[in-house]
Amino acid sequence: MKYRKFGKTGIEVSELGFGCMRLPILDEDYGKIDEKKATEMLRYAINNGVNYVDTAYPYHKGMSELFVGKALKDGYREKVYLATKSPVWLVNERSDFDKYLDEQLKKLQTDHIDMYLLHALGKERWSKIKALNVFDFVEKAKKDGRIKNIGFSFHDEFKVFKEIVDSYDWDFCQIQLNYLDEHFQAGIAGLKYASKKGMAVIIMEPIKGGKLAGKLPSEAIEIFKDTNPERTPAEWALRWVWDHPEVSLLLSGMSDMDQVVENVRVANVEPNSMTAEEREAINKVKDIFKRRLKVDCTSCNYCMPCPNGVHIPDVFRLYNDASLFDEFENSKREYKNFIEGHFDASQCIECGDCEKVCPQHLPIRKLLKEADAALRV
């Protein structure tokens, strides 16, 4: 396991962080974490050098923090830097910041949060929490020891990112970055800007919600195999992120032990170690994806549950699979089950609730219509 400097803090973190948003579940219920399997996964990662664990208030329908609190018993809490996030969309007055932080401390069974983030900031949320005097809360929480380091996660345009970075002496930030999203949201420009300010930069969605680790277009698989037959698609994606010296660590939302074992195994990458041939292979694969991907969804589930029952991420998954892997017949067969279960895209009533919370800012209503037209038999 390689370790990297966490910005100006003096801390060193494992270049792989354990993200607790996509843990194994029971009964296909996102709120029912398979705690036995998830605990084994988390502790295996820690036993093999991972020292950064990330969760958040809404993950797994509010159950992720409770799980992490239990899984970090038996001395594991002392082995890691623990990160969680303030649910700023629920904050309506200054006292709410403290209310949610104290609730999180209780759920996590700890007296302090090592890395506390203001969750999923964009222009509107940023304006809201500034008006609620968020920095008064931050200063007092750091002074009384409940928070050790303060940062934010981000989903908006670069100009908004720059404004937030320049507004305060942040310790770190968290942005989305992978080889398909170089110029999306904060992107590479944000990575470099924050790093120059002395901030640690954490990367989320390095495998784009698993899409860069699963089935790839056959053309892409051939390119990777020709370049390095021993390397999996997931390793290619992770190595691309780690190759950037400004990256402090990346978070992987692992959902089974095989993923944990692989990610821990490959977390031994020095910055600027990719060869010219490897970079060219990545560029060729990027072009293939950009030509064929229909919906830039990461399956984060922020849009769920849909008030009218549409299984939004699953609809988009079928639509993308059909295009990326020439599997329209298979996708149509599975979509027929959606139609029979009344959770297909045609059930959308266009309320727009999903678009208000989508970190990718997707035109979900429009895309659901496109997917329904392509998948309906």
Whether omega before 305 lies within 30 degrees of 0, making that bond cis, reads yes
pLDDT confidence of residue 298: 87
φ/ψ bin of 54: left (φ > 0), alpha (ψ from -120 to 50), beta (otherwise): beta
Which is the CATH superfamily of the domain at 3-291?
A: NADP-dependent oxidoreductase domain (3.20.20.100)
Q: Which residues fall within 8 angstroms of residue 98, CB to CB, at 6 or more apart?
A: 137, 141
With CA atoms as reference, report the closest residue to 155 among 172, 175, 139, 125: 175
pLDDT confidence of residue 375: 97
Place of tokens 């966490």: 6
Residue 217 · residue 248 · CB < 8 Å? no
pLDDT digits (tens, 9 = 90+) for 183-202: 889 999 999 999 999 999 99
Evaluated on CA atoms 304, 340, 314, 363, the torsion sign reads negative
| HSE value, Cβ hemisphere, 13 Å, CA-based, for 256 | 3
Q: Which residues fall within 8 angstroms of residue 128, CB to CB, at 6 or more apart?
A: 88, 91
Domain boundaries, the chain: 3-291, 312-375
252 DSSP assignment = E
- How deeply is 167 buried, as exposed, middle or buried, from its count of CB atoms within 10 A (0-12, 13-18, 19+)? exposed
Q: Which residues fall within 8 angstroms of residue 274, CB to CB, at 6 or more apart?
A: 239, 240, 243, 282
Place of tokens 């390689």: 2
pLDDT confidence of residue 377: 80
pLDDT confidence of residue 301: 87
pLDDT confidence of residue 183: 87
With CA atoms as reference, report the closest residue to 54 among 111, 186, 197, 46: 46
The encoded tokens of residue 47 equal: 């036993």
The encoded tokens of residue 282 equal: 């990545």
210 DSSP assignment = T
3-state secondary structure at position 136? helix
pLDDT beneath 50, residues of the chain: none
